[in-house]
Amino acid sequence: MRTIPTASDRRAASPSPVTLEEARRLIGSHLAPLPAEAVLLHQALGRAAAERVTAPADIPPVRNSAMDGYALPNEGSRADGYLLLEPDHPDPARLEGRTRRVLTGQPVPPWAFCVAAEEHCRARGQVVFPQGTWPEGFNIRAAGEDARRGDILIEMGHPLGAADLARAATAGRHRIRVGRRPRVRLMTTGNELVRPPTRPGTAWHRHECNAVMLATLLAAAGCRADPLPHLPDRPEAVRDALQGLGPCDLLITIGGASNSEADLSRPLLRELGATFLFERVHIKPGRPTAFGLWRGRPVLCLPGNPVAAFVTALLFALPVVRGLAGFAPTAPCPFRVRFQGEILPDRQRVQLFPVRLRAADDGIPVGIPFPETGSGILRSLTAADALVEVPADTHVKPGSLLAVRWLGPGALP
């Protein structure tokens, strides 16, 4: 008969916590992008480019007009105007007093000094009178001004936006290889929770919210996240759910991540063959976060308190999903805020705090902390504009500059 280790057995067997940097390194070293697929350009928005796209020729291929107007042989200062050449008329030997009609995107004659826009000219019969003068090259697009043959238009791992896809189209592409969307399964546990629309059965039951929070957070990153039915803290229920898990690229368990008798996710996964690279991280909130490999796929075990689940999903689940989808690593957020408060140092743990932002005269936003910091207080996130990061063993005093880890949807105009 299989048994679940006691809480004291788990604490004795649990490895030492790792730093946030070490956790990131371990995750990154055990991830590989999923196989790529070719899709039509209009289906690639938000995906990661799985190939390098280069220009097969100069873009544009020849000098052309940026406006509907008239190609002029000089700056347009000829007082008696310019004789309009017929479209099929060859270029004459003397060009000083001649002009050609050109439309947007059409090649301009080799002798064109500039193009006078149609609305800046008056025509009398076959003579055109420019109403101004213009510098050389005005309203003329140079050959190769957007890209030269062989230039890199899109790099591998780049998140594809509308402008990127338009640029691929200028290179003659109608399809592009992109990273496959990861399939994620979310497993929530907890006797004290019921998932809507199920009604609470007792006065101490609460509604489960982590499944919808993480499913939508991860879907915004380009994956398909499917919550499993909510599970009670019973070994047979959790074991059956794990053994019957359908195809996926990443399993995330939420709740049951600590070391009590009711915390079943890690012990049962280990019983079923999972190998964990770390089981605790020096962060607050979110210390009981674990990462491992099971059946050839990554597994994340996140804490169940909603704020801790949100923070650890930002720190770990999103990078895993982005790595599987083929995105290149992202640079840290460049924003800093001036913290309006004091935070006592935690000797080992990186701390993350939700703040509201307020504009300041020096251009550096002021970060106003919430009075409550419990990891179960969701209103601190719904009203927050950002999360700020406090390095370990750092005493934050009023006016200290802190790095922004996350910007909420209402943080910027």
Q: Per residue in 171-185, is it b (16+ CB within 10 Å) or e — as a string?
A: bebeebbbbbbbbbb
Q: Which of 325, 347, 363 is the last residue of a domain?
A: 325
**One-character DSSP codes across 222-291:** T-EEEEPPPB-S-HHHHHHHHHT--S-SEEEEES--SSSTT--HHHHHHHTT-EEEES-BSEES--S-EE
Q: Work out the number of other CB atoms within 10 angstroms of the CB of residue 25.
A: 13
| Residues 214 and 282 grouped into a single domain | yes
Distance CA 48, CA 180 (A): 8
Tell me what pLDDT residue 69 has.
98
With H, G, I as helix, E, B as strand and everything else as coil, classify residue 406: strand
Q: Decide if 412 is inside a domain.
A: no
CB 209 within 8 A of CB 378: yes
User: What amino acid occupies position 71?
Assistant: A
| Residues 126 and 236 grouped into a single domain | no
User: What amino acid occupies position 2?
Assistant: R
Tell me what pLDDT residue 5 has.
57
| Residues 212 and 165 grouped into a single domain | no
CB 98 within 8 A of CB 82: yes
Distance CA 348, CA 351 (A): 10
| Residues 131 and 187 grouped into a single domain | no
| Residues 76 and 13 grouped into a single domain | no
Q: Decide if 2 is inside a domain.
A: no
Angle (CA) 285-288-289 rounded to 5° is: 90
Q: Please enumerate in sequence order all residues whose Cβ is within 8 A of that of 282, keeping only pairs 6 or more positions apart, or say none.
A: 17, 18, 19, 20, 348, 349, 350, 392
Q: Name the domain count of the chain.
A: 4
- For residue 358, what are its two tokens? 């307020």
Q: Decide if 88 is inside a domain.
A: yes
Distance CA 114, CA 267 (A): 75
Distance CA 129, CA 72 (A): 11
Q: Decide if 243 is inside a domain.
A: yes
| Residues 248 and 305 grouped into a single domain | yes
Q: What is the CATH number of the domain that holds 161?
A: 3.90.105.10
Tell me what pLDDT residue 62 has.
97
How do 250-254 and 297-302 pair as beta strands?
A: parallel
Tell me what pLDDT residue 6 has.
58
CB 299 within 8 A of CB 224: no
| Residues 319 and 279 grouped into a single domain | yes
Distance set, CA 246 to CA 173, 213, 243, 287, 320 (Å): 36, 21, 9, 29, 19
Q: What is the CATH number of the domain that holds 264?
A: 3.40.980.10
Handedness of CA 85, 87, 88, 94 (dihedral sign): positive
Tell me what pLDDT residue 1 has.
41
Q: What is the CATH number of the domain that holds 383?
A: 2.40.340.10
Q: Which of 291, 325, 359 is the last residue of a domain?
A: 325
Chain Cα centroid distance, residue 53: 20
Q: Decide if 1 is inside a domain.
A: no
Tell me what pLDDT residue 173 has.
98
Q: Decide if 87 is inside a domain.
A: yes
Split the chain (413 residues) into runs of 10 and give each run's mean pLDDT: 52 77 96 96 97 98 98 96 92 85 96 97 97 98 98 97 98 98 96 89 88 94 93 95 95 83 87 96 96 96 95 96 94 91 95 94 93 86 93 96 90 61
| Residues 129 and 159 grouped into a single domain | no
Q: Which of 125, 141, 157 is the last residue of a domain?
A: 141
HEC string of 48-102 equals EECCCEECCCCECCCCEECCCEEEECCCCCCCCCEEECCCCCCCCCCCCCEEEEE
Q: Decide if 319 is inside a domain.
A: yes
| Residues 306 and 370 grouped into a single domain | no
Distance CA 396, CA 343 (A): 5
CB 161 within 8 A of CB 45: yes
| Residues 286 and 190 grouped into a single domain | yes
| Residues 135 and 218 grouped into a single domain | no
- For residue 393, what are its two tokens? 């063993």
Compute the 3-state secondary structure of the chain and give helix, strand, coil in percent, each to the nearest 5.
Answer: 20, 30, 50
Q: Decide if 44 is inside a domain.
A: yes
Q: Which domain holds residue 341?
A: 336-407
Q: What is the CATH number of the domain that holds 136?
A: 2.170.190.11
| Residues 240 and 288 grouped into a single domain | yes
